Amino acid sequence: MKQTYSRVVVKGGVLSPAELKQILELAESAGLDTISLGSRQDILFIKDDGALEIDAQDKFQLVSPEELGAENIVSSYVSSDIFPNTPWLTGDRYLYILEQFRVSPNLKINITDPKQRLVPLFTGHLNFIASQHEDYWYLYVRLPQWEDTTMYPALIYSWDMAKVASAIEDILQEEPETVEFLFELVNDAVDSNNRTVDNPLEVPFYPFPYYEGINRVGDDRYWLGLYWRNNKYYTEFLKVLCDLCADSKIGKISITPWKSIIIKGIPENTKIEWERLLGRYGINVRHSMLELNWHLPVNNKSALKLKEYLVDNFDKRDISTYGLTFGITDYTRKAYYFTSIIVEKNQPPAGLEGIKIRNTYNLLYAKNFDPNSQQYIVYVQEVDKAELPGLLIELSKMYFEQMGKKPEASKKQMVLKETVLTEVFQCPDCLTVYDPTYGDQVQDILANTPFEELPDDYCCSLCEAPRSKFIRKTRAVAL
């Protein structure tokens, strides 16, 4: 069955009820009665058997599957105020930061709080992660040609994030191979209010949260999570939901990477209206965690069928998977993983096209069962579908046995301690650098001599430019 789809860019996974309603009307004008949600908090228009005709829009950016770039920015705005969070990082702060990104980037950008679990930290090319310092962010970089994610050797100021990201996109043509070289290029390209990294990034481990149903937050507010197992959200229902948001004076609706919707700030005096809405449309909001915590390729019927088979097995055996997340992928998938356990479908053997053979699978699990470790360990390979339930139960038991134990030191914390910023002074004529750490042996300047204490007649050792011409620079040094 041929399927045609378009992505609607939803910056940071957050939009107003009025904007969502306009998108729903756009979908209906294209002959659709449902929309789907993407893993990067975007909205998908999917049509079976036939071309999808959508009127050109100035307000919304639509991207066809063949179009390169125009990536959606992922943010953990959706988790603010309802799940654990960094104290200074409020919902309003996210919105102000997202507003700085005027155009959709070509690189994948994540803007996240390390204290929440709902939105992945490291699945982007540029991963901004909140630090303990107000309005400063760690930046972890994994450019398209890089194999590893590496820490940028400075904390980025909130109001510099968009221009730093834009500068990095412009620098891609230089093909930087190291984060130190990238740092120097960005430093030359933009003025930024960086801060030295003084502490390693700490990502506390929390069990994955339950993100569905009507839940109390604070004394007089609620939040609502909505999840459809088939990832088809009816436009008729969602338009009524948008109207109720407006009546309840709710300004924002959020999309999660788990293909669900969260609405925050529901006043207590309107809770009965929300319950009436769900009941009128027969909306189930109490799926078990066995079913909720799965990440599947969009509109992949074989993956959905495999998930249903595995969940049914878990349910019949009365197995708990609290805090674990699962992903199903296949040999065509090229995205980064962000679940505790991965069921990976293998590529069929070459030369056997047209012959029906049984699929085989690999099982991988994240180090310490923490997707933010970015390290996956192969548990088994080339196993039959019938073996998967028992093997997944073995992995879930491993998870509960290690729960609460101190995890192994993570690779990224080691990287954080290996790279520091240092101030140097550069001759603008020949680019010779004076580094106070090493002094200048040619002119008998001792190590650890500050630039300000150099003799008035100090000049460049190579071209003899006067000291007054030297330019202060910040550079990264790997220890």
Start-to-end Cα distance in the chain:
56
328 and 375, same domain (yes or no): yes
Residue 478 has pLDDT above 50, yes or no: no
For residues 278 and 317, membership in a common domain is answered with no
Per the domain annotation, does 453 fall within a domain? yes
The verdict on 354 and 425 lying in the same domain is no
Looking at the structure, tell me whether residues 298 and 358 fall in a common domain. yes
Distances (CA, A) of 291 to 23, 210, 308, 330, 344: 28, 11, 8, 20, 18
More confident residue, 473 or 231: 231
Name the domain boundary from 382, 402, 422: 402
Question: In CATH, what number is assigned to the domain containing residue 423?
Answer: 2.20.28.10
Q: Of 287, 309, 342, which residue is a domain's last?
A: 287
* The predicted structure's pLDDT at residue 249: 95
Range in 113-122, 192-201, 250-259, 407-416 the model is least confident about: 407-416
Name the E strands within 175-287: 213-217, 221-227, 233-234, 253-255, 260-267
Which stretches within 58-213 are classed as H helix? Answer: 91-99, 161-171, 179-189
Q: Domain range holding 383?
A: 290-402
**Cα 294 to Cα 257: distance, rounded to the nearest angstrom:** 11
Domain count within the chain? 3
Same domain, 304 and 396: yes
**Cα distance between residue 364 and residue 373, in whole Å:** 13
Residues 397 and 312 in one domain: yes
Confidence of residue 413 (pLDDT cuts 50, 70, 90): very low
Per-residue pLDDT at 425? 86
Strand partners, 364: 342, 378
Could you tell me the two tokens for 201? 């990034």
Residue 276 lies in a domain: yes
Residue 100 within any structural domain of the chain: no
278 shares its domain with 301: no
Whether residues 423 and 388 share a domain: the answer is no
Give the HSE-up count for residue 473: Cα atoms under 13 Å, Cβ half-sphere: 23
**Residue 181: helix, strand or coil by DSSP?**
helix
Cα–Cα separations (whole angstroms), residue 438 to 11, 28, 148, 421: 46, 67, 31, 15
**Cα separation of 281 and 353, whole Å?**
45
DSSP 362-407: EEEEEGGG-GGG--EEEEEEEEEGGGHHHHHHHHHHHHHHHTTSPP
Q: Which domain-ending residue is among 224, 257, 287? A: 287
Residue among 185, 184, 163 nearest 173 (CA): 185
Which string of b and e fits 217-228 if b means at least 16 CB within 10 Å? eeeebbbbbbbb
* Stretch among 49-58, 72-81, 107-116, 373-382 having the lowest mean pLDDT: 49-58
pLDDT for 123-133, tens place per residue? 999 999 999 99
Give the tens place of pLDDT for each residue, 4-58. Answer: 778 899 999 999 999 999 999 999 988 899 999 999 999 999 887 667 777 666 6
Compute how many other C-beta atoms are within 10 angstroms of the C-beta atom of residue 134.
Answer: 12
List, for residues 281-314, the tens digit of each pLDDT value: 999 888 888 888 999 887 788 899 999 999 999 9
Does 69 or 70 have the greater pLDDT score? 70
